[in-house]
Amino acid sequence: MSTDQSRWRVRRFDEAHFEHPTSEPELVALILRARTEHAQLRVRGSAHSVAAAVYTDAFDPESGPVQPGAPVINVMLDRYRGLHFHQSGGVDFVTVEAGRNLGSDPYGPGTTPGDDEGLVHALAARGFALPVLGGISHQTLSGFLGTGSAGASVQHGFHQAIASIRVLDGLGNARDLTPSDPDFAHVGVSMGLMGIVSSVTLRLEPEYVIRGWTSVQRVADCDIDLFGDGDATRPSLKTFFETTPYARLLYWPQKGVERVEIWTAERAAKTPGWKPKPYKQFNTAPFLMQWLVRFLYTRVLPRIDLVPGDADAAMAEAWLRDAITEGFADAGLGAPTLSGPLVDPMIDALAETLADVDDGVDSVKEVLVREMIRLIIALSPRAGGKYERKAFTDTWYDGLPHDNQMDDQLMPVLFTELWAPLDKTPVVMRALRDFWSAGGLEATGTFATEIYAAPPSPFTLSAAHGTPVLRIDPFVFWREDAKPEQDFFPGYWELLRAFDVRFHWGKTLSAPGSTTGVSYRRDMCGVAAWDAWKARRAAWDPDGLFVNAYWRAHLGL
């Protein structure tokens, strides 16, 4: 059955073109078949990565092999999702088959979990928890680990829960690796190139809830010193991340906007009678406008790049009215029923602002972007000189993946993610500030940049190997013709390579031959460590079953 529930090309597929093993022996059989047929073999997780990184060559997830009978085997583990709970020495563990999603994948294959069938729900039902989760929880466990993903915390790392990893190498041999095994460091982040992860055993901890606050503040006077070393009244950003159990920033750098949403949380015991009061995006907007704000954010703002750079006020107003009407049509709705009291006054106010644009300072498009974002990302109220902090409390499994509420279908985005040593936070942030200020809309884009941190990782190819990191994640709204790897992300790559950044493997990478390509990545990893990983990979996969053109190019294999 073809699944076309998302505008993201990587998320469209037909299950009939994939193998669906139900057991480890069936996985081994696929490896041996690939050897016999001299075929490539790749395993799809939730397909949250770049499509070329996920699948074999000469394969389309909707239509299958480009040529009938091509020697390619693409695998889904949606029927290999078992759990085995056990105890050892008074410690609780769970062994998870690799196809289990962490949470729910609303656009996965037919048998992937619903709202209460992910790993996190199975753990919570038994009173257990994991130390951290990423901003979303759609991924499979093996995909989350294999791409080097992480949660929004310096104090808590997902790798801290890993007791062992079981991998099937390119000869069909099962290898059980614990943190004391030297090869554990090579396997943990390996993008499916060292073999098929069969299962992961996780060390569990007692269930907890999180309590925190969120606040939208001006960059100039926010509660954190974003660009310096902090003082008696405000922590530096580095200190903020180090001392806050869970935290992230969503930074809107556009001229005239320059505001940041701060999200922080800490653990708390789940007491009798406790009830969740979840974090919600747009909670600074007046209640009656929240529906409109969410609509503008998901249906209108992503279209704003279609406004010509030389548009005049009349063109911009016409575009805005058309975009709102088209957005309602896309949502299966008629014309806005509240057009009179809400939509028309908003457009009229924007039109008046656009009409007053000084052509020598800002373009109409820049003003339109600024005014729309300021409407959507409303500042928190102030009292006594301090910004209001909106409190929330939630389960660990719903509260930590705070971006789950943003739907891939409603709001598809593309992104690159760069990890800099946390010690370089002040200079990195100042470089970004100056880059955004000098570059205008071409540098900032029309969306936000997410900023968070991660702890040191033990894995060779992790972008946090050996050091805590500051993570810079600029977003771009997806369009059919979007090519941010050519016209947007390179500005960030070139700017931040001066600060020894490393790339998240599951996000957009720079070209292999570029100044931040293969040679740069090898240097940042460390030549000896990089070469040791490649040698071990070649030994475990002598026929190159798991290597496609994408990874051959980006890793120099």
| Alpha-carbon distances of 336 from 243, 290, 318, 373, rounded to whole Å | 46, 14, 16, 20
pLDDT of residue 331: 66
pLDDT of residue 309: 72
Domain segments of the chain: what residues? 287-376
Residue of 512, 415, 423, 426 lying closest to 466 (CA atoms): 423
Cβ–Cβ under 8 Å, residues 216 and 388:
no
For residues 547 and 538, give the distance between their C-alpha atoms in angstroms, rounded to a whole number: 10
Residue 526 has a CB neighbour count (10 Å cut-off) of 14
Cβ–Cβ under 8 Å, residues 261 and 377:
yes
pLDDT of residue 304: 77
Q: Give SS3 for 377.
A: coil
Residue 297 has a CB neighbour count (10 Å cut-off) of 21
pLDDT of residue 303: 75
pLDDT of residue 361: 53
Residue with tokens 């790798």: 159
pLDDT of residue 397: 94
For residues 394 and 209, give the distance between their C-alpha atoms in angstroms, rounded to a whole number: 6
In a structure prediction context, what are the per-residue pLDDT tens digits for the chain, which is 557 residues long? 333 323 334 467 888 999 999 999 999 999 999 999 999 999 998 888 888 999 999 999 999 999 888 899 999 999 999 999 999 999 999 999 999 999 877 667 765 555 557 999 999 999 999 999 998 777 899 999 999 999 999 999 999 999 999 999 999 999 999 999 999 999 999 999 999 999 999 999 999 999 999 999 999 999 999 999 999 999 999 999 999 999 999 999 999 999 999 999 999 999 999 999 988 776 655 544 556 666 776 677 777 777 777 777 788 778 877 887 777 777 666 655 545 555 666 667 666 776 666 554 567 778 878 888 887 788 999 999 999 999 999 999 999 987 655 555 556 778 899 999 999 999 999 999 999 999 988 999 888 999 999 999 999 999 999 999 999 999 887 766 778 899 999 999 999 999 999 999 999 999 999 999 999 999 999 999 999 999 999 999 999 999 999 999 999 99
Reported as type and span, the H/E element at residue 75 is strand 72-76
Q: Output the pTM of the full model.
A: 0.90
pLDDT of residue 1: 31
